């Protein structure tokens, strides 16, 4: 695992400028990490409006906390930590409120151009199966515990390496691998009826 | 049939392409700054407003005297225009008579005739008769 503290933070300059009140520098950080964080929050909540509100709150929190950022980790790791913690807190609150019905889940994933290629468009049966599979995948993702969903989102969807996930979650790499293993087993069993 | 871990990984990796619509972050930044300003304003309140105003005023340089003079003149003019004048009272319409007679209700006076002032003939023991 490479020691992050030995590597210079690529965002050091932007962070320093943002700390001194340069809002344009903070805008640049939002534009740099906004899309990744959007993916993280969206795949954890499966709800567009919740994702938007949470992302606003995450960046607001980061902006307010910037004077306390000591640079012990990279800005990327730090803002991911804020995003994960705030999203997990949000999910706990949502669960206490009574969760979310499957009807409330966004179906936007079904419109994803990456999932609907021209050959599938030409074959309605295949397209409908793919839609069904995506729907089941989203449901299976939501049936995972928050801790397991977090590692699946970060590793399988976002492509973040184990070591980086461990740093963000402040846990060991072994724990990350173990959570991934159990999450994959769970997803396999949930999807077996729809897999040909 | 169960999907393999690799197949699950491939299926999940497709979700990487889920992105917000184009232009989303332009609007996002606008909203972010709007919220930030509103929050800062509510935190600072009147004290912050006064501080900002005085900072702005002190940063004006020599022109602050012109602004100050203008502001003082505007204040005096506003007071002069808005303060009530004697003529306002003189021009006020005189009170007019009402068209009907206003009668005060007669006071309730006990009628002496109705009162029995005769001396009582059947005074009780010890009562003095006049």
- For the segment A160-194, what is each residue's pLDDT rounded down to a tens digit? 999 999 999 999 999 999 999 999 999 999 888 77
Does residue B100 belong to the interface with chain A, where contact is any CB pair within 8 Å? Answer: no
Q: Is the torsion defined by CA of B65, B70, B72, B73 positive or negative?
A: positive
Higher-scoring residue by pLDDT: A44, B106: A44
- Which of A9-23, A54-68, A85-99, A116-130 shows the lowest mean pLDDT across its residues? A116-130
Query: What is the full DSSP assignment across B28-89?
Result: HHHHHHHHHHHHHHHHHHHHHHHHHHHHHHHTTTTHHHHHHHHHHHHHHHHHHHHS--HHHH
**What pTM did the predictor assign?**
0.67
pLDDT at A105: 59
Residue A159, both tokens: 């492509």
Higher-scoring residue by pLDDT: B129, A87: A87
pLDDT at A5: 53
Number of CB atoms found within 10 A of residue A37's CB: 24
Considering only residues 37 to 96 of chain B, which have any Cβ-Cβ distance to chain A shorter than 8 Å?
39
Instruction: Determine the straight-line distance between the first and last CA of chain A, rounded to whole angstroms.
Output: 38
Residue pLDDT, tens place only, B99-118? 666 666 666 555 555 555 55
Q: What is the DSSP letter of A171?
A: S
Which residue do the tokens 């003079």 mark? B69
Does residue B12 belong to the interface with chain A, where contact is any CB pair within 8 Å? Answer: yes
| Minimal Cβ distance to A60: which of B15, B17, B35 | B35
**pLDDT value at A3 more than 90:** no
**pLDDT value at B26 more than 50:** yes
- The mean per-residue pLDDT over the stretch A15-40 comes to 94
Mean pLDDT is highest, among A36-45, A97-106, A115-124, for: A36-45
Interface pTM, i.e. ipTM = 0.80
| CA A100 to chain centroid | 18
pLDDT at B130: 46
| Minimal Cβ distance to A34: which of B9, B28, B39 | B28
Does residue B103 belong to the interface with chain A, where contact is any CB pair within 8 Å? Answer: no
Chain-chain contact of B16 with A157 (C-beta, under 8 angstroms): yes
């Amino acid at each position: 695992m490479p020691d992050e503290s030995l590597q210079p933070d690529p965002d050091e300059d932007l962070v320093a400028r943002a700390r001194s009140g340069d809002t344009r520098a903070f805008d640049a950080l939002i534009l740099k990490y906004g899309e990744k964080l959007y993916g993280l929050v969206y795949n954890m909540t499966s709800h567009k409006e919740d994702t938007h509100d949470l992302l606003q709150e995450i960046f607001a929190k980061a902006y307010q906390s910037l004077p306390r950022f000591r640079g012990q980790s990279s800005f990327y790791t730090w803002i991911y930590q804020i995003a994960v913690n705030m999203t997990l807190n949000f999910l706990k609150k949502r669960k206490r409120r009574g969760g979310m019905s499957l009807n409330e889940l966004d179906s936007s994933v079904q419109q994803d151009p990456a999932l609907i290629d021209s050959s599938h468009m030409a074959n309605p049966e295949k397209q409908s199966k793919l839609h069904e599979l995506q729907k089941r995948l989203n449901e299976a993702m939501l049936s995972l515990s928050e801790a397991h969903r977090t590692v699946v989102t970060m590793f399988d969807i976002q492509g973040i390496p184990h070591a980086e996930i461990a740093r963000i979650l402040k846990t060991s790499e072994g724990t990350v691998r173990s959570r991934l293993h159990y999450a994959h087993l769970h997803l396999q069993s949930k999807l077996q009826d729809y897999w040909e | 049939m169960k999907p393999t871990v690799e197949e699950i990984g491939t299926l999940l990796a497709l979700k990487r392409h889920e992105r917000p619509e184009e232009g989303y972050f332009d609007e996002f930044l606008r909203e972010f700054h709007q919220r930030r300003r509103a929050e800062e304003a509510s935190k600072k309140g009147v004290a912050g407003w006064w501080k900002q105003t005085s900072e702005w005023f002190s940063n004006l340089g020599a022109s602050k005297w012109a602004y100050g003079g203008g502001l003082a003149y505007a204040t005096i003019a506003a007071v002069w225009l808005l303060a009530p004048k004697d003529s306002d009272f003189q021009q006020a319409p005189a009170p007019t008579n009402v068209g009907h007679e206003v009668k005060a209700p007669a006071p309730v006076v006990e009628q002496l005739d109705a009162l029995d002032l005769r001396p009582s003939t059947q005074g009780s023991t010890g009562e003095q008769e006049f």
